Amino acid sequence: MTMRRTPSFLSAVCLAPCLAVLCLASCQSGTATDARPPLAGAKIGGPFALIDENGRPVTDRSFAGKYRVMYFGYTYCPDVCPVDVQTIAQGLAELEKRDPALAARVVPIFVTVDPARDTPAVLKQFTAAFSPRLVGLTGSPQAVAQAEKAYAVYASKGLASPGGYLVNHSRQTYLMDPDNRPLALVPQDETPAAVADTIEKWAK
């Protein structure tokens, strides 16, 4: 797949600061022997009703019994979102090598923050470029906004660009348990091994 690109200096908007994200990051501190997940008890996650890359209705209940790796971004992002998603996909591939049974219980999910452009067809092309297991979700602006609020995600339309416009959004990846409760932040800005390590540590 040929990724759409805008000038690289504009990609910084994908790193827009968000107070909620900073607070969540501080929750991650602790030692390697911590028995309690860093985000245990945090008010993150909730019901949503969206549409997947195949045009099928999907809710949070569609993934019941599965761990979810939740990432919010958009396909027209110049470079940050594709790099993050690639790291997540490679981390899951690493986990498959280490523990195939555990990896099979993890669903990677990409939720767009740009529903106006990210139609199911666009999402299908995007997700297929990274992993056949990656689920892409879109929906009406109202439905996407509800999901953003539930997962403490900041997003707003930003500067105009040659591709149309950019979207400012917070950048965090959640590991959710089979009951859709938050466990930890997945380090998508590190290495694939770090992604696999985090999932392996908190997904039982």
Joined together, the tokens standing for residue 192 give 């694939």
pTM: 0.84
Residue 107, pLDDT score: 98
Looking at this protein, which amino acid is placed at residue 67? Y
| Beta strands per DSSP E along 106-180 | 106-112, 135-138, 155-161, 164-169, 173-176
Residue 162, pLDDT score: 74
Residue 30, pLDDT score: 44
CATH number of 48-202: 3.40.30.10
Residue 34, pLDDT score: 60
Residue 5, pLDDT score: 41
Residue 69, pLDDT score: 98
Q: pLDDT tens for the chain, 204 residues: list them.
A: 444 443 332 333 444 434 344 344 444 444 444 689 999 999 999 999 999 999 999 999 999 999 999 999 999 998 899 999 999 999 999 999 999 999 999 999 999 999 999 999 999 999 999 999 999 999 999 999 999 999 999 999 988 877 789 999 999 999 999 999 999 999 999 999 999 999 999 998
On whether the CB atoms of residues 71 and 88 are closer than 8 A, the answer is: yes
Q: Is 158 helix (H, G, I), strand (E, B) or coil?
A: strand
Domain ranges of the chain: 48-202
